[in-house]
Amino acid sequence: MRADPWLDRWLPLVAERAGGLPVLELGCGTGRDTATLSRAGHRVVALDLSRLSLLLAKVRVPSGTFHCRDLQAPFPVDAAGVVLASLSLHYFPWPETLALVDRIRAILKPGGVLLCRLNSTRDEHFGAVGHERLAENFYRVNGAPKRFFDRASLEALFGAGWNALSVREEAINRYVLPKWVWEAVLER
């Protein structure tokens, strides 16, 4: 995997909005973004479904607090100033995706922010084409459900109750092939 410094430019905003609360990271994987947040001085409470990924994340960020759980389970914090969800909100049918985003908004304090990256419908190298269609922009990719987003679905997901601070579509070089994502920073 290649370097993916996307979060660095948002660290001043994270510092401003965290408000002394831990940053809640949804789908931390092996702790790449967790490490960035920790190096910047933030306490991180991170979730992931993969026990192996969490073990690697704990090695990478010994100061982090990690929980092995599905994102649909209750969050391990009651309030947050910042929630981070990088490439983790795409595993669910649309009603469940809406419910998850509502739960994220509910735990954010007023003025809190969600920093997220979502698979773009342009992400042809990583499943946006050529797979079994489960629903619109929702496919079975290598045996797992995977959602892809366009501008209209972002507006439907984050229209009510959110103030978009930044929304942009871009190709990132996190992997060998370019990956198309939407990066959205949203304020409650």
Q: Do 102 and 170 have their domain in common?
A: yes
Pairing state of beta strands 144-147 and 138-141? antiparallel
Residue-wise pLDDT tens digits, 41-53: 999 999 999 999 9
Domain count within the chain: 2
> Last residue of a domain, which of 61, 86, 111?
86
Q: Do 161 and 124 have their domain in common?
A: yes
Q: Which of 185, 146, 143, 147 is nearest to 168 (CA)?
A: 185
CATH of the domain at 38: 3.40.50.150
Q: How many CB atoms lie within 10 A of CB 177?
A: 11
Q: How far from 77 is each of 28, 45, 175, CA to CA, in Å? A: 15, 8, 32
SS3 call for 174: coil
User: Is residue 1 one of the residues assigned to a domain?
Assistant: no
Q: Which of 38, 116, 110 is nearest to 80 (CA)?
A: 110
Q: Do 104 and 67 have their domain in common?
A: no
Q: Do 122 and 65 have their domain in common?
A: no
141-155 b/e (C-beta count within 10 Å ≥ 16 → b):
beeeebbbbbeebbe
Dihedral sign for Cα atoms in the order 26, 27, 33, 39: positive
Specify whether the CB–CB gap between 75 and 101 falls below 8 A. Answer: no
Residue-wise pLDDT tens digits, 31-44: 999 999 999 999 99
**Domain with 18 in it:** 14-86
Rounded distance, CA 49 to CA 29, Å? 8
| Mean pLDDT, rounded, of the chain | 95
What pTM does this model have?
A: 0.94
pLDDT band at 173 (very low <50, low <70, confident <90, very high): confident
With vertex at residue 119, the alpha carbon angle to CA 26 and CA 152, rounded to the nearest 5 degrees, is 110
SS3 content of the chain, % helix, strand, coil (to 5): 30, 35, 35
User: Is residue 37 one of the residues assigned to a domain?
Assistant: yes
**Residue 38 token pair:** 């920790």
Residue-wise pLDDT tens digits, 150-172: 999 999 999 889 999 999 999 99
> Last residue of a domain, which of 86, 114, 135?
86
Q: Do 77 and 98 have their domain in common?
A: no
